[in-house]
Structure 1
Amino acid sequence: MKDYHINIFYSDEDDGYIADIPDLKYCSAFGDTAEAAVHEVLKAKGAWLETAKAEGKPIPLPKYRPAIYPIAS
């Protein structure tokens, strides 16, 4: 299985890094460094998936890919 794409960007407003997983609605995290943000969003991903399973909610397949990585046909 392919894993979920993670976006990482610097937020001037928050004075730190934000990491999010577009395929998992509202799954994001903050960190003082890019590495810290990724570490936190991986924990958030685990909690998101565990909660969805426990509540019987559908878990989306990883589909998101940035425009610079076209999907091969």
Structure 2
Amino acid sequence: MKYKVVLYESEEGFSVWVLGLPGCCSQGETKEEALENIKDAICEYLEVVTEQAKDAAVYEIEVAV
């Protein structure tokens, strides 16, 4: 899957978060490190969400934008 991420530089390095996955973020000392770290964060995020949805009612909806 492909995800759009927002990357910005700060005094401490780089921060990155995923559009469409609230709370899914990471950081790194370099741009490359931050982008690699967000891949791990996305995988962990999806594992948690999948586990939480395991016993819940799940619906698919369509939204016009």
In the TM superposition, 1:1-73 aligns within 5 A as: 3-12=2-11, 15-56=12-53
Instruction: Provide the aligned C-alpha RMSD in A.
Output: 1.6
Which ranges of structure 1 fall in alignment gaps of 5 or more residues?
59-73
Which ranges of structure 2 fall in alignment gaps of 5 or more residues?
59-65
Displaced runs of 4+ in structure 1, greater than 2 A?
Answer: none
State, as a whole percentage, how many aligned pairs show the same letter: 22
How many Å separate the matches in 2 of 1:19 and 1:35?
11
Determine which structure has the larger strand proportion and give its number.
Answer: 2
What TM-score do you get using the length of structure 1 for normalisation? 0.68
Select the structure with the greater relative contact order (CA < 8 A; seq sep ≥ 6): 1
Choose 1 or 2 for highest CA Rg.
Answer: 2
Determine which structure has the larger helix proportion and give its number.
Answer: 2
